[in-house]
């Protein structure tokens, strides 16, 4: 069985490179049969009104689904689950 993802690791957020950069928090990813931490990063959004959705794990029954980070459309409705990596069964 694959356990639930660990609680997010504490991160020291480095200095913002520019006023255009936004912080994208770190997250746990599944690699080689175990969870591995991916550190957060600063990135420039693809357009001026863009806002990020953070990568996240969501429980779905006896499995967890990973949702990649993404950009909210200008209407502020979250995009469909594009970029999903798949389902991990428990």
Using 50 as the pLDDT threshold, list the residues of the chain that sit under it.
75-90
For the entire predicted model, the pTM comes to: 0.65
- pLDDT at residue 48, as a whole number: 74
Calpha distance 90→61 (Å, rounded): 9
- pLDDT at residue 85, as a whole number: 39
CB 70 within 8 A of CB 82: yes
Beta-ladder partners of 34:
31
């Amino acid at each position: 069985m694959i356990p639930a993802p660990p609680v997010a690791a504490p991160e020291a957020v480095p200095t913002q490179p520019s006023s255009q950069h936004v912080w994208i928090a770190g997250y746990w990813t599944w690699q080689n049969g175990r969870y591995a931490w991916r550190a957060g990063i600063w990135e420039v959004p693809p357009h001026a009104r863009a806002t990020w959705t953070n990568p996240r794990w969501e429980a779905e029954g006896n499995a967890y689904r990973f949702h990649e980070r993404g950009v909210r459309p200008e209407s502020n409705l979250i995009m469909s689950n594009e970029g999903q990596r798949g389902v991990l069964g428990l």
